[in-house]
Every structure is written in C-alpha cells, then in structure tokens.
Amino acid sequence: MTVPTSPWWRSAVIYQIYPRSFADATGNGVGDLPGITSRLDALAELGVDAIWLSPFYRSPQNDAGYDVADYCDVDPVFGTLADADDLLAAAQARGIRVVVDLVPNHSSDQHAWFQAALAAGPGSSERARYLFRDGRGADGSLAPNNWESVFGGPAWTRVTEPDGTPGQWYLHLFDATQPDFDWTNPEVREEFRRILRFWLDRGVDGFRVDVAHGLVKKAGLPDYTPPRDADSMGGGLDDVPYWGQPEVHEIYRDWHELVSSYPGDRALCAEAWLPTIEATALWVRPGEMQQAFNFHYLQTDWDAAELRAVIAESLRAYAAVGAPSTWVLSNHDVIRHATRLALTEPIPQGWGIGPNTLERPNPTLGLRRGRAATALMLALPGGAYLYQGEELGLTEVIDIPDADRQDPTWFRTAHERYGRDGCRVPLPWTADAPAYGFSETGASWLPQPPEWADLARATQREDPASTLSLYTRLLAERHRHELGIGELEWIDGLGEDVVAFRNGNVTVVANTGTTPVPLPAGEILVASEPGVVGVLAPDTTVWLLPT
C-alpha cells in the first residue's frame, strides 16, 4: 500500500502536556488549564503541531486524573469547562491542534455509575456496567481469579453490600479506586459515544485512548500470572487474558465512524502495549485508529543494530496497512529517555527509579544520548510525540523524598517499586522565580531539584547550545524539509555502531558507539552536540545537506 502524506496526524509532532505539572496559575502547587493557556506562546515558538492533554476531568486524583468521576466536566483543581474552551480556542488560534485523553477502561469509584452499582446490589443493571463477580470459596471470600493490578496487589476488591454483609468483588486492573467497565454491555458503548461527541462538539482534534488494549477481557476471566519482571502495562507479553483481545477492534471501528463523521480530520491514538510491532499495526488498519504509539521504538536501547531493526520493521509493518508510525521516546509513564538511555540494566516499564535502585545512570551521558536519540527520531517519516520537559533536557528525578511520592504504584507495592513520579515533576520556566516560575507562590506538588534552575526555559532560550534551542531547530528543519512525510533510504557502510539514512534531501547519521566515526560529505544542518567537524563523536546525531 502506498502511504499517503496527509492528513496532519500522519506527520505531526504532538507535545504531551501533563496538566498538573506544566504551569500553575492559581498558586496551589498543581498546574491548571489557565496556566497552560498562558504559556502557549512557548509551544508555538518551539514549533509543535499539536498538544495532547493528559486528563483534566473531574476526578479524586487517585491516579493523577486517570480516575475519572465525570468525563464531561473539568476538575476544579484544573479549572472549568470555560477554561477548557479558552485553551482550545487559544491553541487553535496559534495553529496548534488539541488532542484530549479518553479513559474508557475504567472510571473512578466516585463516578455516579459506580456509586449506583454499589447501592443497587448483585444482579442489578447498575452492576452490569462494571465487572462485578461473586467470590470463590464457600463463603465467597476468595477473589474471583488471581489477576494482579498493574500497580501491584490484587486486581479485585470486595464490597460491602447495602445490607452490611460482605459481598461481591469488582475488577480493577489499576487502583482499587479505578473499577473496570464491562465493554460487552451496550450501555457502556453508548455512554462513550456520548462522551466522544461531547468533546468533538467542543472542537477537539482527537483523542489519545488510555489503556486501549485493555477494554475487553477474555471470556470466563481465566487465571493468569505475569512473569515477575514484566512491564506494568503488558508490553511484550503474549496471550494475556486482559490485554489485546481481538474483540476490542470492533469498538474502535465504531469510534472511527463516529469521529470521521465530524469535519476536520480528527484522530484517535491508541495507548496499546502489545507483544510485537506487527500486532500494534493491527490497531491502525483502515477504519480503525489513526495512530498507535510505537512503544517498541520507545523501548529500544541506544544500540545501532537494534535501532535499525526496529525502524525498518516499524516502517514495513505500518506501511503494510497504509499507516504512518507514531514515534515516541518519553511520556508520563516511563523513565525519561535522557535517563533511561544511560541505564546498563533495563528497568521494567512502570517500576521507576529512586534512591535505592542499584544503578544510578550517568546524567551527562544520559542527556547526550537523549539529545542524539531525539535528533534521530525527529528525522524519521511519520508522526512523533514529545513529552513536556524533554525539550529542556530534563532527566528523571531520582531523589524524590519518600514522603512526597504520590504514584499509586509506590503504595500498592509497599514501596518496592518507585513508580512514575520521577518523570512528573513540575517544569522550570525561569531560573530565579519561586518554583522556577511553575507557580507564583513557590508551591509545587512534587519538589523540583535545585539543578533545574540551570534548565529553566527562559535561560535556555538565550543559549544556542541549549537542549531547547536544539529541539526548536530540529522541529523547524523537520518541517522545512518535510521529513515527516518523507521516505527513508538506508545508508550502509559507515560501521556497525552507526544508524544512517537519507530522508529526501537530508542525510542523517547517528553514532551509538564508543569511538568517533568519519562523516560523509555534507553541510551540517543540525547536530545534537556543538562542534561537529569531519568526524562524529560517540552519542551524537547530525543532519547533513548536500554541499
């Protein structure tokens, strides 16, 4: 199949905003929608095509907003629906599209439907919207099966019935406050059509679909034990009865039709952690979603042979279904890539890193590789996602005091796994302001490390060698040379440790090895490190133009 070059999402660079950590206009230490609106010029200057906002809906915030109590309202901590409308209008006025998060696998236990289910009791139509089951054992005191929560501990919680007796159990693949919906129930399907329409009518350009691979569970809910060191979200695992069930695709075909009935090329992007690239490509077949995060790329080491293989296989598998690849290196669930790429032992996704982790990756090496990896990614044809703060060269915050940690993973594993707080620390905007300009009062829901003063955006804007200047340049040249809609032609012969290809006019060379390599002829368009002449130092990527 030939790969078309439009619409926008085929090549867009989409910047993920994690609202609670972007900018805080109220001074309570949690970022909010007015804070984002007030900082949009910085994103226009960076040159992104779109933003994706992690959830800002009404929520008790037990999983930082991924526990939604009302899908059609804004949580007071983030603002109001009018603030959401203002943000949408202000972004779109700057030519920045807006993608919002949709969380269909589970709601909050504070959602009106779950409260009604608790009150209505076993056998009711209210309970049938969720996955309530009787317990095993004579008195029903054993969970219905052995599934574990992604955040650790059992995936079932027993309720007390309205008459005060110990009762049924409900399934929660995540926190106990995040009950899973039963997607075989037509009422659930209709409710999510309504939610999609609610946001499409307000003008959003698309949805990032949370846990898109988890909505349908295998009939009979058979027992399953994941390997001990498995990634939290199931990446790489085959035959898991709650991930990637074939029936889930029918839901997205339905959504595709609904979304396509709106003007303006709206898009759906799957957060689906699957065993292979081939399996992920099924999610972007014609008539299904437009994008699916390429987590296989995200999980690839800084190793030339592995990178060449994952890029080639991604382009092949996605092109076979007529879709672009959607590249990504960081998000709010993984160790920031400017830290991750310096690890010598992989850490399973979702486990995080903290003061007692055996390895402490070298931050200078990590950032150097992080910059080189981004320069490689942004030269690839397809769409790409950036995660807030990576353009500032932020590394994972390892030394968050235990008492400040908030990820449910930390609590549900009795502090065995640190979880994801280290990539969620609020952004530094200005070096000499309280909370580095994140909030006027100096409040910050997670403490910011002192070394972030040097990484403040305002400081980096003035420095042509900064990571921010590098990202700005990469995005500008990527647009100018239309790399997102280009085609990749491999260049061989530069050595085992080199990834090299041409995309249109631009030659891209990345050195993942430990010794410098001679560069092909060409004029340097962008380099991930300053001072590249003739040879390419380790952990560096350059874009060259013909001389």
Binding site for ligand NOJ (CB under 6 A): 63, 66, 103, 174, 210-211, 271, 332-333
Query: Residues 381, 487: contact at Cβ < 8 Å?
Result: yes
Q: Which of 182, 210, 391, 477 is catalytic?
A: 210
Quote the CA–CA distance of 522 and 357 in Å, as a whole number. Answer: 44
Q: Which of 271, 288, 421, 539 is catalytic?
A: 271
- Six-digit token string for 13: 């660079």
Query: Residues 120, 128: contact at Cβ < 8 Å?
Result: no
7: preceding bond cis by omega (within 30 degrees): yes
Q: Is the Cβ of residue 66 or residue 543 nearer to ligand NOJ in the bound state?
A: 66
Q: Is the Cβ of residue 143 or residue 211 nearer to ligand NOJ in the bound state?
A: 211
Least Cα distance to 42 among 312, 428, 341, 358 occurs for 428
Virtual torsion, Cα 127, 128, 129, 135, nearest 10 deg: 60
β-bridge partners, 154: 148
* In the complex, minimum distance from the CB of residue 458 to ligand NOJ, in angstroms, rounded to a whole number: 29
* In the complex, minimum distance from the CB of residue 151 to ligand NOJ, in angstroms, rounded to a whole number: 8
Q: Is the Cβ of residue 63 or residue 75 nearer to ligand NOJ in the bound state?
A: 63
Q: DSSP string spanning 316-340?
A: HHHHTTT---EEES--TTS--HHHH
Q: Is the Cβ of residue 70 or residue 85 nearer to ligand NOJ in the bound state?
A: 70
* In the complex, minimum distance from the CB of residue 7 to ligand NOJ, in angstroms, rounded to a whole number: 25
Q: Is the Cβ of residue 390 or residue 539 nearer to ligand NOJ in the bound state?
A: 390
Q: Is the Cβ of residue 271 or residue 529 nearer to ligand NOJ in the bound state?
A: 271
Q: DSSP string spanning 389-429?
A: TGGGTPPP-----GGG---HHHHHTTTSS--SGGG-PPPP-
* In the complex, minimum distance from the CB of residue 141 to ligand NOJ, in angstroms, rounded to a whole number: 28
The CA R_g of the chain, rounded to the nearest whole Å, is: 23
Beta pairing class for 50-53 and 97-102: parallel
Q: Is the Cβ of residue 396 or residue 539 nearer to ligand NOJ in the bound state?
A: 396
Where b means 16+ CB within 10 Å and e means fewer, 200-233 reads beeebbbbbbbbbbbbbbeeebeebeeeeebbbb
Phi first, then psi, for residue 24 (nearest 5°) are: -110, 110
**Which residue has its beta carbon closest to ligand NOJ?**
66
Host H or E run for residue 535:
strand 535-536
CA atoms within 13 A on the CB side of 360: 6
The verdict on whether 432 is a catalytic residue reads no
Q: DSSP string spanning 469-511?
A: HHHHHHHHHHHHTTGGG--EEE---S-TTEEEEEETTEEEEEE
Quote the CA–CA distance of 262 and 418 in Å, as a whole number. Answer: 42
Q: Is the Cβ of residue 173 or residue 196 nearer to ligand NOJ in the bound state?
A: 173
* In the complex, minimum distance from the CB of residue 223 to ligand NOJ, in angstroms, rounded to a whole number: 22
What DSSP character marks residue 55? P
The verdict on whether 497 is a catalytic residue reads no
Q: Is the Cβ of residue 174 or residue 418 nearer to ligand NOJ in the bound state?
A: 174
Residue 321 burial (CB count, 10 A)? 16
* In the complex, minimum distance from the CB of residue 435 to ligand NOJ, in angstroms, rounded to a whole number: 23
Least Cα distance to 337 among 293, 296, 390 occurs for 390
* In the complex, minimum distance from the CB of residue 383 to ligand NOJ, in angstroms, rounded to a whole number: 18
* In the complex, minimum distance from the CB of residue 211 to ligand NOJ, in angstroms, rounded to a whole number: 5
Q: Could you give the maximum distance between any two Cα atoms of the chain, in Å?
A: 81
Virtual torsion, Cα 265, 268, 269, 270, nearest 10 deg: -160
What DSSP character marks residue 293? B
* In the complex, minimum distance from the CB of residue 346 to ligand NOJ, in angstroms, rounded to a whole number: 19
Among all residues, which ones are annotated catalytic?
210, 271
